[in-house]
Structure 1
Amino acid sequence: MASELLALLLAFLLITIHLLTKTRNPSNRLPPGSLGIPIIGQSLGLLWAMRTNTGEQWINNKIKKFGPISKLTLFGNPTVFLTGPVANKFIFSSTDSLALQQPQSMCRIIGRRNILELIGKDHKRVRGAISYFLKPEALRKYVFKIDQEIRHHLRTNWSDHNQVKILPSMKSLTFNVICSTIFGIERGAREILVQDFAKMMTGMWSVPVNLPFTNFNQSLKASSRIRKELTKVIEEKRRALKLGERSSDEDLITYLLSLGSDNGETLTEEEILDNAVLLMVAGHDTTAIVLTFLVRHLANDPITYAKILNEHEEIAKIKAPEEALTWDDLLKMKFTWRVAQEIMRTIPPVFGGFRRVIKDVEFGGYLIPKGWQVFWNASVTHMDESIFKEPEKFDPSRFEKQSEIPPYCFIAFGAGPRICPGYEFAKAETLVAVHYMVTRFKWSLCCKDNTFVRDPNPSPKQGLPVSIEVKASL
């Protein structure tokens, strides 16, 4: 009897140990899904879906198969895909367990000391410096520079042309605005950067295998050349600051160089350089895409076009012909910005993004291990009919009352404590560009094919060629 009781107790103990071990085994607590082939995983499938404009379908198929939480491998890292407002809040607010991260390919191309990679005090220090320059109070005085660059671009590239390809045009426009306001680089000196910048962008989302003739390899080489040129710019601005030939608020680079070490704000040379490259990428591509799809939409929506035109004509009436727009003028462009927001809701400029897991964390009952990455997607919540009624319908009035949009549901610029610091800059650039496009030009689409691909950002077929008619001089 005693031996039977001892055997029973031993069996009970073994079962308990087994259950505890099973419960604590990370592999049994991971989300459903497959990691696939190491390093590559599902990267090629996602990239192909984006380039065939079926990225949203690819995401929705994954949700149907595994639910709103699943694991996979993307761009060299084991990844957990999360979706929905609750997941968005977790992703954009969990600064203690999640850090900003982009694919390894982007990190290696841009540099490891940019704000998308930094954590803790370093992130706070660098983000604080950049955010100060980009906040509305500081941006007010840069509206004039933005105005002058946009007028120059439209005068040079639109006024004497019967046809314009909008996406390349808008990329050139935003690149020049960035060079002027962020870097303080004069027009003649920018040409060195233009071609290398285009090459650098091609490998941002790619498998990070550095083999000759791959997009990743070409992007790395282009990034190296850009960094050399920007290093020259930084050295020249540092010299000018020491000689008193420049003020600290002329552009972002000069401002970052002028920060003192007495209050712990100083940025290293690497941090200034890496974040300069990041801002060049972030400030160039997304705004160009918003403007491109806004032009496309207005060509097909005469009612919205008429409302925007009326808003801008009212502003133009009180301006002298050569008078630049001001910050106060931008505050009057409320309907225009609602249209831009609806463009970003229906066609997010950024397909998704990543966070790096800096310590084991649980979400939805699953374990997300340290060292993995979290992947989020914007279109899932943007097109959720429980959040946005009739999500397929283009309706700028959704944004009349921002308070009625639930938190973490519109994430074109991210959300929470790490919302994009360039939000106000992008808004100002968009509004100034729209003002001069609608008041000085008319356009119609040359290409009736309204489809687009993602590579990785949305790009209309043929660059969206339009016929141009000049209404008034710039």
Structure 2
Amino acid sequence: MHLFMALPLLLLVSFLAILALNIFIVRCSHWNAAAHCGRPLRLPPGSSGWPLVGETVSFMRPHSSASLGDFIDRRIAKYGKIFRTSLLGKATVVSADAEFNRWVLQAEGQGLFAGSCPTSIAEIMGRQSMLALVGDAHREMRSIAVAFLGGGTSGGLRRRSRFFATVERQAAKVLDSWNDRVCHGSVGAAASFSAHKEAKNFTFSVMVKHLISMEEETAEAKQLSKEYATFMRGMASLPLNLPGMAHRKARKSRAKILSLIGQKLDERIKQKLQEKKLLKEAEKADKAEAEKAAEEEEEGGGDLLDLVLKHQNLTREQILDLVLSMLFAGHETSSAAIALAIYFLQSSPKAVQQLREEHTRIAKLRIVDEVIAETLRLGNIVKFLHRRAIKNVQYKGYDIPCGWELVPIISAEHLDPSIYDDPQSYNPWRWQTLPVKSGNSLMSFGCGPRLCPGAEFGKLEMAVFLHHLVQRFHWELAEHDFPVSLPFLGFPKGLPIKIRPIGP
């Protein structure tokens, strides 16, 4: 009883102790930076908000993805494009300055900035995920991802070919199911379905097939999909590791996801051992045939598990976290991009008509590139990134102390009227005079050493899906909905649409 009565006091003392420690750490970073500079620091203007949580809640408040949100807009108006705040208990510089953001992202690896991942995200994604890794460890994992998704080897070419075939087949399958709904009356005049959910199902099926050769109809794929949905809800939740909270559920789902991937990994290891045994037996029987089989094995072209098993220095944890990282990256961004295209195009009949005309003639596909670029620009799949200063840095007279977090708002460049005329309007034709293919034109996939290795694959998925969509259906919103940064992009109502098949 005495302990129960003393509990509120203990909690208060603990809170005050943590608060004091947090303030002390921030002050120490100021003092150390000032001592290094030999003068008082000139920090960016701003405020720290509430103790411990800072301004995290306001920063993460949902808003239209085609805007910066009220929090950013108000602080830009008050402090300018670079300001300081406190997010998740850490002193942070937030930047909507396009020049500064590109410098920060491109300078990683040059001794000034490093990748940074909130602890709560690292706990869910994994300490060996590409989001959490920095330096040489990140470069090694990224090089494997690049080799898998593109490398110039014959194995890479075969993987790209298989990826295209998988995307083509799966897109046709999804739209066949839409047609069946209409024909069988499950989607009538007043009925609708979630286009965003359909896009998620499409990209999930593509990725699990491409990464671990898992077929969508299997029980294990359905279980993986279920756990992944819980996993993603935790990624966008408050980092409270308490019973019943989304963060706790996500960590449990992560363990189940890794168990399923681990089973596929064990099966593949067993398969490879059996293949080696057969190869040795073949060497005795037919040396030429054995050399040919060994050459084909070396060239690769299989799924991600095949590739990572050739890297004998990788631990099991590294392999599983890499697969989960690529599933997350390939599923979330591509499904959001496809849903955004469906959303924007339903109000742009001219663009839809030009897409139809372009896909029915043998010509260079130009309008589809413009539609994809404009969808990524205005939709802003990723609003911001995380980096950390690893040295004291100066920029335009401001001091950024070593150890401070940096949050480049990459969507700010996409919505800047000094860069894009009438940036709030959906205008694919603006890209007729802008560099669609230029790496300097869009920040949707980041830039610098952490540029998304699957960027071109994501665009390919969009192009293939749109090709089938515009050829087969008319569509419209069943009710008002719009894309929202949550902070991951989503649609409050799931993007409900009505469809009508295009006649023969």
TM bin, normalised by shorter chain, reads: 0.7 to 0.9
Task: Name which of 241, 244, 252 aligns with 2:304.
Answer: 252
Q: 1:55 to 1:204 in 2, by over 3 A?
A: farther
Aligned positions of 1:82-93 closer than 5 A: 82-93=95-106
In the alignment, structure 1 residue 421 sits paired with structure 2 residue 453:
yes
The structural deviation recorded for 1:403 is 4.1
2:83 is paired with a residue whose SS is strand
For residue 167 of structure 1, what is the amino acid of its counterpart? H
Aligned positions of 1:94-113 closer than 5 A: 94-95=107-108, 96-113=111-128
Which one is further off, 201-210 or 237-246? 237-246
Distance 1:356 1:23 in 2: 18
**Which residue pairs with 2:146 in the alignment?**
131
2:234 is paired with a residue whose SS is coil
Q: 1:467 to 1:142 in 2, by over 3 A?
A: same
Task: Name which of 37, 41, 61 aligns with 2:74.
Answer: 61
Q: 1:407 to 1:436 in 2, by over 3 A?
A: closer
In the alignment, structure 1 residue 115 sits paired with structure 2 residue 144:
no
Query: Structure 1, residues 147-196: CA drift from partner, whole Å, max 9, x if none?
Result: 12222222235532423310111011111111111221122131011111
TM-score by length of 1: 0.84
Which one is further off, 35-44 or 379-388? 35-44
**Which residue pairs with 2:488 in the alignment?**
457
1:202 is paired with a residue whose SS is helix
In the alignment, structure 1 residue 399 sits paired with structure 2 residue 428:
no
Aligned positions of 1:31-430 closer than 5 A: 31-50=44-63, 55-95=68-108, 96-135=111-150, 137=152, 138=156, 139-161=160-182, 162=187, 163-187=192-216, 188=218, 189-244=220-275, 248-259=300-311, 261=312, 266-314=313-361, 332-400=364-432, 402-403=434-435, 408=440, 410-430=442-462
CA contact (8 A) 2:64 2:482 kept: no
CA contact (8 A) 2:374 2:427 kept: yes
TM-score by length of 2: 0.79
Distance 1:25 1:212 in 2: 49
For residue 117 of structure 1, what is the amino acid of its counterpart? A
Which one is further off, 462-471 or 149-158? 149-158
The structural deviation recorded for 1:49 is 4.1
CA contact (8 A) 1:350 1:412 kept: yes
Distance 1:221 1:427 in 2: 32
1:186 is paired with a residue whose SS is coil
The structural deviation recorded for 1:392 is 2.0
Which one is further off, 338-347 or 455-464? 455-464
**Which residue pairs with 1:468 in the alignment?**
499
Alpha carbon RMSD of aligned pairs, Å?
A: 2.8
Query: Structure 1, residues 341-362: CA drift from partner, whole Å, max 9, x if none?
Result: 1011112011211113333333
CA contact (8 A) 2:193 2:497 kept: yes
Distance 2:179 2:487 in 1: 27
For residue 239 of structure 2, what is the amino acid of its counterpart? P
Distance 1:53 1:45 in 2: 18
The structural deviation recorded for 1:21 is 6.8
**Which residue pairs with 1:318 in the alignment?**
none
The structural deviation recorded for 1:119 is 2.2
Q: 1:407 to 1:258 in 2, by over 3 A?
A: closer
CA contact (8 A) 1:157 1:169 kept: no
The structural deviation recorded for 1:29 is 3.3
Q: 1:470 to 1:148 in 2, by over 3 A?
A: same
Distance 2:431 2:314 in 1: 38
Query: Structure 1, residues 395-430: CA drift from partner, whole Å, max 9, x if none?
Result: 223333554999755201112332111111101111
| Structure 2: unaligned runs, 5 residues or longer | 1-32, 277-295
Percent of aligned pairs sharing the same letter: 27
2:354 is paired with a residue whose SS is helix
2:94 is paired with a residue whose SS is strand
2:360 is paired with a residue whose SS is helix
Q: 1:226 to 1:80 in 2, by over 3 A?
A: same
Query: Structure 1, residues 98-139: CA drift from partner, whole Å, max 9, x if none?
Result: 222232221110011122222222222111111111127532
CA contact (8 A) 1:75 1:207 kept: no
Distance 1:338 1:53 in 2: 18
Distance 2:455 2:39 in 1: 39
CA contact (8 A) 1:51 1:455 kept: no
CA contact (8 A) 2:369 2:436 kept: no
The structural deviation recorded for 1:78 is 2.2
CA contact (8 A) 2:101 2:410 kept: no
2:500 is paired with a residue whose SS is strand
CA contact (8 A) 1:99 1:357 kept: yes
Q: 1:75 to 1:205 in 2, by over 3 A?
A: farther
**Which residue pairs with 2:3 in the alignment?**
none
Query: Structure 1, residues 350-391: CA drift from partner, whole Å, max 9, x if none?
Result: 121111333333333333233322101122111111111221
Aligned pair count? 434
For residue 383 of structure 2, what is the amino acid of its counterpart? F
For residue 92 of structure 1, what is the amino acid of its counterpart? L
2:214 is paired with a residue whose SS is coil
2:375 is paired with a residue whose SS is helix
For residue 345 of structure 1, what is the amino acid of its counterpart? R
1:314 is paired with a residue whose SS is coil
Distance 1:99 1:350 in 2: 19
Distance 1:205 1:75 in 2: 14
Q: 1:369 to 1:230 in 2, by over 3 A?
A: farther
Query: Structure 1, residues 422-451: CA drift from partner, whole Å, max 9, x if none?
Result: 11110111111111111122222211x243
1:444 is paired with a residue whose SS is strand
CA contact (8 A) 1:299 1:444 kept: yes
